[in-house]
Structure 1
Amino acid sequence: LAALTAAPRGTWAQVRTSLKTQAAEALEAVEGAAFFVSLDAEPAGLTREDPAASLDAYAHALLAGRGHDRWFDKSFTLIVFSNGKLGLSVEHSWADCPISGHMWEFTLATECFQLGYSTDGHCKGHPDPTLPQPQRLQWDLPDQIHSSISLALRGAKILSENVDCHVFPFSLFGKSFIRRCHLSSDSFIQIALQLAHFRDRGQFCLTYESAMTRLFLEGRTETVRSCTREACTFVRAMEDKEKTADDHGYGVSYIFMGDDMITFHISSKKSSTKTDSHRLGQHIEDALLDVASLFQAGQHFKRRFRGSGKENSRHRCGFLSRQTGASKASMTSTDF
């Protein structure tokens, strides 16, 4: 049934109207809950054997699941994998990334500093016997709705399989180096993204960066247009040859993990023959190093080959796992 929440709004609205009369109690239990929990049967998370592919699969599972195990209308779906790894799939209309990120940081801090675990790895505390036991929801669904579910699931799987997800930790330097250059860490990343995208696509495109305005009355976000004349001039100065390609879109988000690491998440569509999330990731890494070299006379960072399935084993999980650094992480998203 949850596959219908990934269907076009009109399709889900029609089915939901019929559910209000045929399965009203079960529907109210789901829609009245604070959030949705999905207990996935498969393991997920960073692995030593293949850190690059495992992080990509982890991000993809959190974003899309299997098409039928995420209730996309809920505020968020809490996903618990079979090996104990957790993550969130957040519905975007009620909040932006920093909101769910702060909630996750609070949860991790509470787990680490207040709740804790016993010496054998179990949660501390005792079960509360006064809490009601789980109850199976009863859905009386006619054949017509079963057909709608099948169509919705097919469409959800097509959408999921078309997502090209790539997550990579960049640990050659972080915001501490950028600050030593007397630069804004955010502007450093934005100019590197422009350089990376130009190398990947051979041209500039309209870009927006979300800027937080929550400190203002009724504020949420505003748009920063980072592809400026000055940015284009800088990119052209860094390049000595031109490339041409049709423009297709990328989504890039990044988070500063303490002072010495930046984790990037890149998404694009596999159906596009012009985009490749892994390729842009390599361009981003190269661009960061090239921009950094302007401030490091005579010193060069060691570049790494980031081929598919051949990531350096020192790569650590970024946004998707606990960060123990003292500095607070900050998240930014950019769309090309």
Structure 2
Amino acid sequence: MGLLKRTLQNIYPQDSDSRDRAKERLDQLALPHWALGDLMDLSMDLAGITRSIDPPVARKAIVTMAGDHGVVAEGVSKFPQEVTPQMVYNFVNGGAGINALARQAGAEVIVVDMGVAADLKQLAAEGKIINKKVGLGTDNIAKGPAMSLAMATRSVEAGIDIANDLADRIDLFGTGDMGIGNTTPSTAIAAVITGKPLAELTGRGTGLDDEQLAHKIKVLETILECNKPDPKDGLDILAKVGGFEIGGLAGLIIGAAAHKKPVVVDGFISSAAALIAITIEPFVRDYIICAHRSMEPGHRAMQEKLGCRPLLDLNLRLGEGTGAALAMNLVEAAVAILTEVATFEEAAVAEADK
């Protein structure tokens, strides 16, 4: 039995007893009933995920996965493919947006080469990134499949490996991505899984103008017609229209769920990975926290399919895991509400003891 199948056997729904105990405490807090709204709902989710009414979330990591995409040859991005390895070096040097926001959140940034079309072996040898390279970028999905089914499985299992390796020292996972052109495969994934029309889902990515956006939609129509992915088969979708970093992130999410760890899913690309993950195993959605709603128009439909409401809506469109880092502060706040706010009974006892 392969790693993916073994991992899926360890994924269960949230623990209802822990959720019930968390709700019982939240109902008794010394404040108007459910006055902290979505944060209190999140408290219950965290209890159900971790099987504890004191959910551990202090040890945090953003796992930012990088990969390139052959579809950039179709002119779907304003930036050249060379930007992907340049940004990997920026992550390593601590100068990217994700580095700044992760430091603020008290999270480490772990960078993974899933399929960058450049030689990054030296960075891996120096321990600055994790090398899980499946290939030097995917094939052009406007001409045929992104990768073989074996490569798709390998990318997902690479993400599971990382979750397994980190599970003993990380309580709270966040997802991040880097890959020029990756909004195109992500939009294709969204179209296949949500069933929404491409014109409704397709956004401007790194800043396309109206003419370039119309071209991107035509390319996406060609991609779906050419590949015809099976909407019920997550690995088939990944192999035909996905990306190596998308597969890796799907595996990370699946692996986190198997370890009963919450995973804060970042933006549009990470949500495409989450859609792959829940198509492979629907119970994975119980472990997903949607960090924010990005400016990409298809993100709302993706989150509706995932069944989660975003914690933030700040017009973000950077990726990298930046939204996840910001949302980690709210995750810690939700735990503080559950564990630190006194109940009416506790407050009365404290007052009587004065």
Task: Calculate the TM-score normalised by the size of structure 2.
Answer: 0.24
Higher strand share: 1
Larger radius of gyration: 1
Structure scoring higher RCO (CA < 8 A, sep ≥ 6) equals 2
